[in-house]
Amino acid sequence: MYFLPAIIGRDKHDAAGIFLLNLFVGWTVIGWVIALIWACIAEPRAHVRFVPVAGRFCCQCGSLTYPGAHFCTACGRTV
Residues contributing to the site for Zn ion (CB under 5 A): 58, 60-61, 63, 72, 74-75
Nearer to Zn ion, 40 or 61 (CB): 61
* Smallest gap from residue 50 Cβ to Zn ion (A): 24
- List b or e across 30-39, with b for residues whose CB sees 16 or more CB atoms inside 10 angstroms: ebbebbbebb
Nearer to Zn ion, 2 or 71 (CB): 71
Rounded to a whole number of angstroms, the distance between the first and last alpha carbons of the chain is 58
Nearer to Zn ion, 44 or 76 (CB): 76
